[in-house]
Amino acid sequence: MTLPAPYRPSIHFTPETSWINDPNGCIYHQGLYHLFFQYYPDDIKWGPMHWGHATSPDLIKWSQHDIALYPDSSLGAIFSGSAVNDKHNVSGLFNDDKGLIAFYTSHLERKAPLGPLQQQCIAFSKDNGFTWEKYEKNPVITNPGIPDFRDPKVIYHEESGHWILIAVAGQQVNFYKSLDLLTWEDAGVFGKDQHNDSLVWECPDLMQLQDQYGTSYWVLFISCVSSQEKPFPPMQYFIGEFDGHTFKETHQDDRVNVVDDGYDFYAAQSFFEAKSESDKPIWLAWANHWPYANLIPNDGWRGTMSLPRELSLLKKANEIALAQQPISAVSDHFTHTSTASENTLILPTAAGTVHKLSVRLPNANQSSANFEVKAGASQSAIFNWDSSSKTFSLDRSALKPEHFHDLYDQLVVADLSKEMAETDILSADIYIDQSIIEVFFFDGERVMTSLVFPNTTFSSFVSHTEQLNTTYSMVTI
């Protein structure tokens, strides 16, 4: 089913029909990237969760497949989780190296006063991830007596020789370890008295990342179910050490380590056994924001994934921060076509066209800037750089659908004061794919992801600042 512009992106994954949210079970196997995702096939609003399934050879062009996992009457709906390759058959479930195991949370609705029951379960695939069978001895980790206990992320920890399962438990992370992927024992806990411990934590990820000098650190990522009054941060991260039992934060900052400065980047998950061409981990996220997720305007489908990004760390002085860049399979597709003349560019409007604007502002600590990307005569995404506050903002209020959530009117703001302390040049690469804009500052030191809803395709770029240098490139899928 092909749906018309202006809302269907070209190089971001969207479902053929129905509702999606969190990416699940991300894994690279037998030459294909497998993306599973929270899916409700019967509506375009959140409902009893299934695992949908799509594959791609390059993380750009996707094929959607049959539903991988369905809810069941005994354990409930299929919530978020991850997948691994049991290539050495430590589980005893397989006869070769084609065996994949998916870890997910079963969510069983129960009558009051009991409330929902969330437990960790597994399913396995003997045909490279295209059909799945639930483990007969589920759950493999029972609920410890709390309402929020979900989203298992499984990794292999080389130093201890154990598989590690990370699950969120309210406002903390519980760690478990296993030798066979079936039986799990408590290993440790992290999260009490940390940033935003009043919010429900979700969708953890844990990985080793290197800085530009080759030093490795463990990084723990958390998504937060935030209130409508305090929508940020959708995702945060902690830098530290992991010994195979628990995580210890070793690099703390005065501010929360925000993964993405936009509203619309949530529940990111890395691909198991996948690295970029530069040998960096790869992840993607659900590009949405819970307060208005069920209101997104679309024709028979609802939900978008972010661009796939490679991850690293950047060390400056005594501070370390996350860096994200679109993988080369994305960025290499774009071909340079023009440079802004008289501060104006006419953008191609052919179906499937994705725009990339590379803007550079010299003397940015003293000079503010303002520019817009226009869709028709009356709609614009308006970007502003304020040199006094060192903030870069996106005003998308002119692209607001009728009767949409008021949060959408708020400016999307990135505070770049720390980054600008070491440079006088503001630089940003802006990817525009129909209904989603992703801004990568300073080669990915900061990122800002935002959904937008123009009534027609974007057709022009207009700068109101003479000093702004802008080059344009594009790809048509």
Cα 343 from Cα 475, distance rounded (Å) = 22
**Residues counted in the chain:** 477
C-alpha closest to that of 26 among 158, 161, 203, 150:
203
Cα 107 from Cα 118, distance rounded (Å) = 5
Amino acid at 203: C
Asked if omega into 113 is within 30° of 0 (cis), the reply is: yes
| Residue whose entry in the numeric block shows the structure tokens 């550079």 | 360
Token digits of residue 310: 């490679």
Token digits of residue 300: 């028979």
Range list of β-strands (E), 396-468? 412-415, 426-433, 436-441, 446-451, 460-463
Cα 409 from Cα 212, distance rounded (Å) = 38
Out of 22, 148, 395, 429, pick the active-site residue: 22
Is the Cβ–Cβ distance between 233 and 253 less than 8 Å?
Answer: no
Amino acid at 450: S
For residue 418, the surrounding DSSP H or E stretch is helix 417-420
**22 in catalytic set:** yes
C-alpha closest to that of 101 among 269, 272, 264, 317:
272
The phi-psi region of residue 77 (left if phi > 0; otherwise alpha if psi is between -120 and 50; otherwise beta) is: beta
For residue 457, the surrounding DSSP H or E stretch is none
Query: Catalytic site residues?
Result: 22
